[in-house]
Amino acid sequence: MKWQWKSPSPEPRRLWLGLLALQVIVWLWLLDTGLTNRSEQQAMTRQQHYLAQRNQAQHEALLQLMNQEQQPISYHLDPDKQWLELTGSAPIDIWQNQLEELQQHIHLQPEQLHWRRQQGLWWGQHRFAVLAPKTNRPFQNWLPVSGVVTPSTLGGLRLLATLQTQQAKALLWTPTGEIWVKEQDWLAAQGWTVEQIGLDRVVLRAPHGRQQALIMED
């Protein structure tokens, strides 16, 4: 009987190549997953570091505001830095400056706003939640009036007195002298229109429509 060599069947070789290809695919998938997870972890670490820096900057700005000398408004920050309380009695323009400066540097959400008129000043006790820093925050008006300006921004106007008769009138001081005005009068030199006259304030309207309140100084 004559012996004859036969080549092995191609099936085992195909199976071996298939297993090898599958192993390569699994290895590449694991490598890609590992790189993705590492990249995500690095991005998360950078984000956490960035937020920590912003939180620190916000806290330092708040401490700087709290440590201002000779201010009529006191600040109290809770130990966990989760809420801020403001208490004091001051002219409305001082409150305006303080609240605007706070909003410029600190992300706050009002929890309680309590205003009371007191001997010509505004007494306030306010509580705010201190939130994580956020860019492009909309400005919020937390004052007890719709808009407040100082005399310098109104061309030197000052409210001296009001007269509540059948037709309310207000006595204004201007750089050129004292004048009586009534509602809907136009102050040509300053460009404002007298919108409304109250007991202790005059609401003025700018040419572009924005309203501002001029408060009587005691």
CATH of the domain at 166: 2.30.30.830
User: From the first residue on, what is the mean pLDDT of each consecutive set of 10 residues in the chain (218 residues)?
Assistant: 54 74 81 73 62 63 66 82 87 82 84 84 89 76 67 70 88 87 83 85 75 76
7 is a domain residue: no
Say yes or no: 104 and 193 in one domain.
no
The residue from 144, 172, 205 where one domain ends is 144
In a domain, 3, yes or no: no
Same domain, 28 and 127: yes
Total domains present in the chain: 2
21 occurs within a structural domain: yes
My answer on whether 122 and 21 are in the same domain is: yes
Calpha distance 218→133 (Å, rounded): 39
211-215 β-sheet, strand order = 186-187, 192-197, 201-205, 211-215
Does the residue 1 lie in any domain? no
* Domain end position, chosen among 144, 168, 196: 144
Could you tell me which residues come within 8 angstroms of residue 214 by beta carbon, excluding any fewer than 6 positions away? 149, 151, 154, 157, 158, 159, 172, 201, 202, 203, 204
Residues 6+ apart with CB under 8 A from 191: 206, 207
From the list 199, 205, 203, the residue with the least C-alpha distance to 120 is 199
Question: In the prediction, which pLDDT does 191 show?
Answer: 73
Residue 182: CA count within 13 A, CB half-sphere: 5
> Which residue, 104, 120, 144, sits at the end of a domain?
144
Residues 155 and 139 in one domain: no
Q: Which domain holds residue 130?
A: 12-144
- pLDDT of 152: 45
What tokens were used for 38?
């590492």
